[in-house]
Amino acid sequence: MEKKSTMKAYIVAVLLLVVLLAFLGMRYKDAPIIVEGAETPFAGTFWSLLPPIVAILLALISKEVYSSLFIGCLVGALMYAQFDPWLTVQAIVGDEFGLLANLTDGWNMGIIIFLVELGIVADLLNKGGGSEAFGRWAKEKVKTRASAQLMTMLLGCLIFIDDYFNCLTVGAVMRPVTESHNISRAKLAYLIDSTAAPVCMLAPISSWAAAIAGYVTSKQVNGFQLFIKQIPWNYYCLLTLLMIIVISIRNIDYGPMLTHEYNAQVHNDLFTTPERPFEGADDYEAPAGKKTYVIDLLLPVIVIIIACIFTMVWTGGYFDGVSFTDAFADADAAYGLALGGMIGMAFTFLYFWLRRTISFEKSFESVPNGFIQMVSPILILTLAWTLCSFTRWAMFSAEFVNAALANAENLKQFLPAVIFLIGAAIAFATGTSWGTIGIMAPIVVSVFNYDTEPVLCTIGLAAACSGGVMGDHCSPISDTTIMSSAGAHCYHLNHVITQIPYALTVTPVAFVSFILAGIIQNVVINLLIAAVLMIITLLVLEKITRSRHKDMWAEMDAANKKLYAGR
């Protein structure tokens, strides 16, 4: 019955979309093009955001991401081609903004190669007994659910060089640990996602720091220095990490996540829904006749981390005399990660051959297996990249944002809070925090003169970064959200639906904190106020949730007592 009603809602939504597109086609048939260099009258208007909005709404209605993303791309192609059928087909497939353009893009292909490499390594770690050994160690050493969640957070904080790498590596390492404590896949995906982009946004040495430093093109201030200064003002990222600590220690869950955690703890169902991505991939193997150790998992992961750092700074010219910081700022992250992943993958093959835990023939089964595991995220990423390409480059959505902020000069103290909300909306619609910050950062340094308003300029950049991460966390078409689902082996829309209430919990606290930051402009006082507000909000939510769902919490408490009784 539920599936039939979902199908009806999906059909109704598509029919309404057809009516809207027909109206737009007639309304803008002879409209002038307002953005120089654009090829459609929709460029630079609110309608430039329609394709991603359509994709997101359809995904949330249908809980089916592939068709929703494709229809979003189709809407973008229709608007770009001004509703000419043949030109629309050319646009969606073509080599300017369409599927071919995104699949032949060097950056995108580098990320796809890196995904496949990590999929192969993950399968090797499973076949070689590394995952099984780590899971066995975790059962002995990690005694509580809280410590398992905090350990996931700690590992996420340690892998700060790149969010893509973070998502997949933390997932591979922590799946056996969280599984042994009956932590749902949705909760693991949330922990991964919330320690990926936020941690990279706060780390001075990361691909994010490099990208944002490059976005701040101002003669008044060095981009990297401004990035460092914005860290203590970056409320969404800081409060997200604080939230993980509080909900892990206090065992707070609410919204759809509570259902997933209830099923994991009471019914030993880590997925809740019928969808079981990567089914069988987590049946951890112990090689017959061979003793396995934790180092069998940790050493390949450490080698990959070191190799990726090495190759990233190499692409930035570190070995040609460029400083380490500047090398990170100029690094080609996609190429560096693909190259580092190749080195790490080769080491993992060699390591398990020398350990004789996998035969030569069996080890190469991991190549197709690892690729198969990554087919779903690669398909979603390709569609998401295509959608973003139409929105940003074909429809000039940045021009619309520029126009929206053009008359905000008289509200400068409150402008960081406004920038935070606008950044969140753009990132949610486009699915890219990097792209959002790329739009917003130059606007920030043009609105705020760093020579006369250094604090407000710093807070403004922090607000843009916070908004980008917040919208990215909520968006079903975000690449890091997609890869967090892949890393956790979680059905993608389960991750989206369970994470949104948690992200929206941090959002109002961050918004209020940015308002107060614009008024008080004292980094220590404002940070303390933000932390106190966040803790109070979570404690109130805990009280409300436990009061409304007493029976569920009683069953969960009883199940946990039984689980830990023999440990």
**Which has the minimum average pLDDT: 43-57, 118-132, 320-334, 499-513?**
320-334
Least confident of 68-72, 349-353, 381-385: 381-385
pTM confidence score: 0.74
CA 95 to chain centre: 26
Task: Name, of 134-138, 485-489, 508-512, the range with top average pLDDT.
Answer: 508-512
Question: Which range is least confidently modeled, 58-72, 216-230, 339-353, 438-452?
Answer: 216-230
Nearest to 267 by CA among 564, 567, 556: 556
In this structure, are residues 286 and 129 in contact, taking their beta carbons and an 8 Å threshold? yes
Which residue, 171, 206, 165, is CA-closest to 337? 165
Counting beta carbons within 10 angstroms of the beta carbon of residue 321, is it exposed (0 to 12), middle (13 to 18) or buried (19 or more)?
exposed
Q: What is the pLDDT of residue 207?
A: 58
Kindly list the distances between the CA atom of residue 204 and the CA atoms of 106, 124, 207, 224, in Å, as whole numbers in the listed order: 25, 32, 9, 8
Question: Residue 129: what pLDDT?
Answer: 81
CA atoms within 13 A on the CB side of 42: 27
Q: How far apart are CA 32 and CA 406, in angstroms?
A: 22
Q: Is the pLDDT of residue 556 over 50?
A: yes
**Rounded to whole angstroms, what are the CA distances from 495 to 88, 166, 447, 506?**
32, 17, 36, 17
The token pair that represents 134 in the structure block = 């780590």
Displacement of CA 197 from its chain's centroid (Å): 6
pLDDT at 520: 92
* Confidence at residue 407, expressed as pLDDT on a 0 to 100 scale: 59
Residue in 162, 231, 480, 209 with CA at minimum distance from that of residue 330: 209
Query: Residue 284 — very low, low, confident or very high, per pLDDT cuts 50/70/90?
Result: low
Measured over all CA atoms, what is the biggest interatomic distance in the chain, rounded to whole angstroms? 75
What pLDDT score does 146 carry? Answer: 92
Query: What are the two backbone dihedrals, phi and then psi, of residue 321, each rounded to the nearest 5 degrees?
Result: 100, 0
Residue spans per domain, the chain: 1-93, 106-207+278-375
- When pLDDT is cut at 50, 70 and 90, the band that residue 1 belongs to is very low
Res 238: pLDDT = 96
Q: What is the pLDDT of residue 162?
A: 65
Res 3: pLDDT: 59
- Of 138-147, 391-400, 554-563, where does mean pLDDT reach its minimum? 391-400
What token pair was written down for 40? 């459609």
Model confidence at 283: pLDDT above 60: no
Phi, psi of 475 (to 5 degrees): -85, 130
Angle at 201 between CA 504 and CA 253, to 5 degrees: 30
What average pLDDT does this structure show over 142-155?
A: 90
